């Protein structure tokens, strides 16, 4: 095992919880400028790297299908990482991916479901929530970036903001999040582009997601999730964990065993079963040999 000196990868996050520091969005002096830029992007949408270029303000739908932001559910979540619970999770309908194994497919694949909540109303709901953070999730929060910034512009509570995402954002979107988000809670799915295209219908996955992880780490603190899938240790799990070890210091990593064949997974022979615990033990052992700072339940 590598001997790595570690500081707390979430020290600033905990400092906000203790009231010693302010959430970044409260310190952001150009939040209204970011909102203006985000609203302009809606006219030729490129929040994610699909870069559909549709005018969502005129009712044109891109790949994600999202027009106005619609919230499928919002609640206090106790099933997240120990460091962030209880977490006020806001689930948006719609997603930039088409994962054949999606466990939230009823949310991610139906962007017209849910309800639109006015930004000022949601800000009030956040202010009264008994939670340690706001957890923007989905589906994926990326198509809703302009809306999220509007909510934060109406929010005065000192509460950390968590971006819970597949990380397929453009550089422009990453720039808008800079100085606003306190913790990136990322979903690092694939160790190669072939698996990403076959199972999530996404191209250039590795270059985009690796780039954005590096950018995110420069911006603020990070927890990286990796869901171990059956038959994908060699092609996905091991390359991802090794890349994290080589490129990202002082991050927490959650190697997850929760995979189950949901949605269309039974159509794909390699992922049509639950994860074998021997596979998961191999993944954990590999992560420990790399010296990664693992989330502990």
The mean pLDDT value for 162-166 works out to 98
Confidence class for position 5, pLDDT limits 50, 70, 90: low
Is the pTM for the entire model greater than 0.85? yes
- Between helix 238-247 and helix 205-219 the angle, nearest 10°, is 40
Which DSSP helix (H) or strand (E) runs through 223?
A: strand 221-227
Structural domain contains residue 209: yes
Tell me how far apart the alpha carbons of residues 102 and 118 are, in angstroms, rounded to a whole number. 28
CATH at residue 201: 3.20.20.70
Tell me how far apart the alpha carbons of residues 212 and 12 are, in angstroms, rounded to a whole number. 21
Tell me how far apart the alpha carbons of residues 187 and 215 are, in angstroms, rounded to a whole number. 15
Q: How far is CA 39 from its chain centroid?
A: 21
Domain count, the chain: 1
The residue range of the domain holding 235 is 13-294
Structural domain contains residue 86: yes
Structural domain contains residue 2: no
pLDDT higher than threshold 50 for residue 159 = yes
Structural domain contains residue 57: yes
**Both structure tokens of 296:** 């502990």
* 206-235 per-position pLDDT tens digit: 999 999 999 999 999 999 999 999 999 999
pLDDT higher than threshold 80 for residue 249 = yes
Beta-ladder partners of 88: 76, 134
Structural domain contains residue 168: yes
Structural domain contains residue 6: no
Structural domain contains residue 23: yes
Q: Is 207 exposed, middle or buried (0-12, 13-18, 19+ CB in 10 A)?
A: exposed
Beta strands at 183-187 and 161-165: parallel, antiparallel or unpaired = parallel
pLDDT higher than threshold 80 for residue 3 = no
């Amino acid at each position: 095992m590598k001997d790595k000196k570690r500081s707390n990868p979430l020290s600033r996050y905990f400092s906000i919880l203790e009231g010693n520091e302010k959430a970044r969005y409260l310190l952001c002096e150009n939040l209204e400028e970011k909102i203006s830029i985000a609203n302009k992007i809606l006219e030729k949408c490129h929040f994610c790297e699909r870069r559909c270029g549709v005018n969502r303000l005129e009712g044109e739908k891109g790949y994600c299908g999202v027009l106005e932001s619609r919230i499928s559910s919002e609640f206090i979540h106790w099933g997240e990482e120990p460091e962030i619970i209880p977490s006020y999770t806001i689930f948006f309908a719609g997603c930039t991916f088409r994962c054949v194994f999606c466990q939230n497919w009823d949310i991610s694949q139906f962007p017209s479901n849910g309800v639109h909540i006015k930004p000022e109303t949601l800000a009030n709901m956040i202010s009264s929530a008994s939670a340690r953070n706001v957890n923007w999730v989905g589906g994926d929060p990326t198509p809703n970036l302009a809306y999220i910034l509007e909510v934060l512009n109406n929010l005065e509570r000192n509460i950390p903001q968590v971006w819970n995402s597949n990380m397929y954002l453009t550089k422009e979107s990453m720039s808008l999040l800079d100085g606003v988000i306190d913790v990136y809670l990322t979903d690092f799915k694939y160790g190669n582009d072939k698996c990403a295209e076959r199972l999530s219908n996404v191209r250039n996955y590795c270059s985009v997601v690796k780039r954005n992880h590096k950018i995110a780490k420069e911006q603020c603190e990070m927890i990286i999730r990796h869901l171990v899938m059956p038959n994908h240790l060699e092609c996905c799990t091991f390359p991802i964990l090794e890349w994290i070890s080589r490129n990202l210091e002082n991050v927490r990593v959650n190697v997850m065993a929760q995979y189950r064949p949901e949605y269309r997974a039974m159509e794909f022979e390699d992922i049509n079963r639950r994860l074998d615990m021997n596979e998961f033990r191999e993944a954990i052992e590999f992560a420990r040999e790399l010296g990664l700072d693992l989330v502990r339940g």
